[in-house]
Amino acid sequence: MTTRLEFNLRAALCRQLAKREPANRSLWMAEAEHLLRLSKEKLQGEAEAKSAPARPVSARRIAFLTKPFSVHELMESLKRAGRHPNSGDTR
């Protein structure tokens, strides 16, 4: 299950990539907005389920989420998730 922290970190990565790749800026900003929307939805869902204890995020997961990704790695991740612009996803 994806945490709000992960959504927010990935959105930050997309914003960094938008700065590095002006040609793909709109793609990265759209992905960042999508991830932030998912984070907000997750927050609303968590507010409804306050009785469940919070799941701690491991140091290993934080290290993975904060490591610098290459554009190629992120594009491959987007392809696997069906969110790559050439994947035919119309969301």
pTM over 0.75: no
Instruction: Give me the DSSP letters along 16-82.
Output: HHHHH-GGGHHHHHHHHHHHHHHHHHHHHHHHHTTTSPPPPPPHHHHHHHHSPPPHHHHHHHHHHTT
For residue 35, give the amino acid letter.
Answer: L
Domain ranges of the chain: 4-80
**Residue for token pair 């998730």:** 81
List the chain pLDDT tens, one digit each, 91 residues: 678 888 889 999 999 999 999 999 999 999 999 999 988 887 777 666 665 566 677 777 776 666 666 777 777 777 777 776 665 544 4
